[in-house]
Amino acid sequence: MKRASGISIDEISRFNNKVLVYEDKFIHESTDMETDSPQKSTTTILENNYILSDLKKTINPVLSEVQLNIELNNASCKFVKRPGHIYHLYELFPGHNYLSILSPEEWKKTPHRYIGSWKLQDDFTWTDAL
């Protein structure tokens, strides 16, 4: 008997049986790994730790860049930010930053704590201006 999808109930049943066999095999292999020698388990754990540490080394710079982009995009400003321009970040008070088009050298006296300068790229990401 075929369903509207063109797949018979027997085909669905055979597929479900294969899934159950694979699930049972996976569970059996996992159980075997737990009961195998400590050397095999230690090697697997060390391999996993190496993979995780390598992944952290790859991800951390990306996360730092994302965090910086979020901070700069969320900083207060009273102008339209345009790609290709350099903007300067100042701290008005703890936890509240703002962007300015004036660099610290352009002020007679810097009104707030200067944090850094960044250039807005065409893709609206930021790069260090110095």
Domain boundaries, the chain: 9-66, 75-128
Provide the whole-model pTM. 0.59
Residue 81 has pLDDT above 90, yes or no: yes
Across 47-73, average pLDDT = 85
Dihedral angle computed from the Cα positions of residues 108, 109, 110 and 116, in that order, rounded to the nearest 10 degrees: 60
**Cα–Cα distance between 36 and 65 in angstroms, integer?**
43
pLDDT band of residue 10 (cuts 50, 70, 90) is low
Q: Find, among 33, 51, 52, the residue nearest to 42 by Cα.
A: 33
Q: Is 74 helix (H, G, I), strand (E, B) or coil?
A: helix
Helices assigned H by DSSP within 36-81: 38-74
User: Looking at 33-42, 59-68, 72-81, 84-93, which range is the least confident one?
Assistant: 33-42
Contact 90, 101 (CB under 8 A): no
The predicted pLDDT at position 56 comes to 82
Q: Does position 4 have pLDDT exceeding 50, yes or no?
A: no
Q: Please give the mean pLDDT across all residues of the chain.
A: 76
Tell how strand 113-120 and strand 126-128 pair up.
Answer: antiparallel
